[in-house]
């Protein structure tokens, strides 16, 4: 069964750059930033007062009005992303195939906004005022539950929780589920909505966020000497994946083939990456080995590239370890977080989609705000302007707190 080929046939994007493929991809390839002042709460007292909010998103466009209050915002994003992907793929569920279609959509933090707000309610109004929907509105696996119920999908129903590697792990795990023959079609990815007082305050207390509040669109600047932390963002990135045989039989549009998946652990620190990049390098090499290709065949890397001083330097070292100095210099690398901010558990899903679209369209998105490159970060980061170039193999990297790493290898589909 492991020789089954797995392709992406549906894409769902909910991001600070907009919703759906066309507006998001146009924004990304034109180098537009989706970062602005926080509006979800009054951020006046916070060290970081900017974020990548999904300002175009209206829950009632995607969720029945009676259901909105039963779900945290991260679920609204996940359901919307899944709907867009499902609609794009155009698959019909029948009694015969329902048990062969599954869902694996995760989140790094989940219903933190609901947890925070219900804690406020408990303190201010007492335990009798806690919502009866509080528990199901905060559970991470409930996106997969809602999506499966909505479409009648009776195959594997699962969720991943690996911090900022969540979306990539979900897609990789779903690919393997299909390869093993446990399902023919999977909806996979991640969703996040953590722009709330508790999360922004917590990440700021950990010194992880930027303090470049006066210039939001220039705040996320991976590999630049002026980088000082990441910009929190929200949204969802969901794909429909299926066997190549299934996709070709129904004449589906194929964006890319998922050919490799690697995982590793740093075993180093709860929040900091391993400084020499060993864990990330091993992860990339595991994915390349899984794809049965040589490192020299990879043309492009959609990097984790968070805009943190340590993280960006580590990833540069990791790329050199994995590919060798000579080929590392030839690679084209970009951090789309320079435009979207960091979508935490949704980042891996969104960035795998960006990687697929780069292969599909022959356009590599840029790393914006790279105006004063860090001499220690000396690779080709596709600075400031998108690049038209046809690539064959591409990597998408996602690394999370706790030293959890995920890499996907995607291939342009001929």
pLDDT in tens, the chain (414 residues): 568 999 999 999 999 999 999 999 999 999 999 999 999 999 999 999 999 999 999 999 999 999 999 999 999 999 999 999 999 999 999 999 999 999 999 999 999 999 999 999 999 999 999 999 999 999 999 999 999 999 999 999 999 999 999 999 999 999 999 999 999 999 999 999 999 999 999 999 999 999 999 999 999 999 999 999 999 999 999 999 999 999 999 999 999 999 999 999 999 999 999 999 999 999 999 999 999 999 999 999 999 999 999 999 999 999 999 999 999 999 999 999 999 999 999 999 999 999 999 999 999 999 999 999 999 999 999 999 999 999 999 999 999 999 999 999 999 998
CB 157 within 8 A of CB 102: yes
Among 341, 308, 305, 303, smallest CA distance to 228 is for: 308
Mark 237-271 as b/e (b = at least 16 C-beta within 10 Å).
bbbbbbbbebbeeeebebbbbbbbbbbbebeeeee
Architecture, CATH, for domain 7-249: 3-Layer(aba) Sandwich (3.40)
Q: 18-19 and 235-243: which strand pairing?
A: unpaired
* Domain ranges within the chain, ordered by starting residue: 7-249, 260-411
Q: What is the spatial distance between Cα 403 and Cα 381, in angstroms, rounded to a whole number?
A: 24
260-411 has the same fold as 7-249 = yes
Place of tokens 């599909």: 360
**Closest of 350, 345, 341, 342 to residue 396, by C-alpha:** 350
Whether pTM > 0.95 for this model: the answer is yes
Across the chain, which distance is largest between two alpha carbons, in Å? 64
CATH code of the domain made up of 260-411 = 3.40.47.10
Are the C-beta atoms of residues 175 and 197 closer than 8 Å to each other?
no
User: For the packed helices 309-330 and 278-290, what is the interaxial angle rounded to 10 degrees?
Assistant: 40
Q: Is the distance from CB of 143 to CB of 149 less than 8 angstroms?
A: no
Residue recorded with tokens 């000082």: 228
Is residue 348 within 8 Å of 396, Cβ to Cβ? yes
Question: What are the catalytic residues?
Answer: 164, 304, 342
């Amino acid at each position: 069964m492991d020789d089954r080929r797995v392709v992406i046939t549906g894409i769902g994007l909910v991001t600070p750059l907009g919703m759906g493929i066309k507006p998001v991809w146009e924004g990304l390839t034109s180098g537009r930033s989706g970062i602005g002042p926080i509006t979800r709460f009054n951020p006046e007292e916070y060290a970081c007062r900017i974020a990548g909010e999904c300002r175009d998103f209206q829950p009632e466009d995607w969720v029945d009005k009676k259901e909105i209050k039963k779900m945290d915002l991260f679920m609204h994003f996940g359901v919307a992303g899944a709907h867009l992907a499902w609609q794009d793929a155009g698959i019909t569920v029948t009694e015969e195939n329902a048990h062969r279609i599954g869902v694996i959509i995760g989140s790094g933090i989940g219903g933190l906004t609901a947890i925070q707000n219900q804690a406020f309610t408990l303190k201010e109004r007492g335990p009798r005022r806690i919502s009866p929907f509080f528990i199901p509105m905060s559970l991470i696996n409930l996106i997969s539950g809602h999506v499966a119920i909505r479409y009648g999908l009776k195959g594997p129903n699962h969720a991943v929780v690996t911090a900022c590697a969540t979306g990539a792990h979900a897609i990789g795990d779903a690919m393997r589920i299909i390869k093993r023959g446990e399902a023919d079609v999977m909806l996979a990815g991640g969703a996040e909505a953590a722009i709330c007082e508790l999360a922004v305050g917590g990440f700021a207390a950990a010194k992880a966020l930027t303090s470049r509040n006066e210039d939001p669109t220039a705040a996320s600047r991976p590999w630049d000497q002026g980088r000082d932390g990441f910009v929190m963002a929200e949204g969802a990135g969901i794909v429909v994946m299926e066997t190549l045989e299934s996709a070709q039989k129904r004449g589906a549009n194929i964006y890319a083939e998922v050919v490799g998946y690697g995982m590793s652990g740093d075993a180093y620190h709860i929040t900091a990456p391993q400084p020499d990049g060993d864990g990330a390098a091993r992860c990339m090499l595991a994915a390349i080995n899984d794809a049965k290709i040589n490192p020299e065949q990879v043309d492009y890397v959609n990097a984790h590239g968070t805009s943190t001083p340590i993280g960006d330097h580590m990833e540069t070292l990791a790329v050199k370890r994995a590919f060798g100095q000579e080929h590392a210099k030839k690679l084209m690398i970009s951090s789309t977080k320079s435009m979207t901010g960091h979508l935490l558990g949704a980042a891996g899903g969104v960035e795998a989609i960006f990687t697929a679209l780069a292969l599909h369209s022959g356009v590599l998105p840029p790393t914006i705000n790279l105006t004063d490159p860090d001499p220690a970060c000396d690779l080709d980061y596709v600075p400031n302007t998108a690049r038209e170039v046809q690539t064959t193999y591409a990597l998408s990297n996602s690394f999370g707190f706790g030293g959890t790493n995920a890499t996907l290898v995607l291939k342009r589909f001929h």
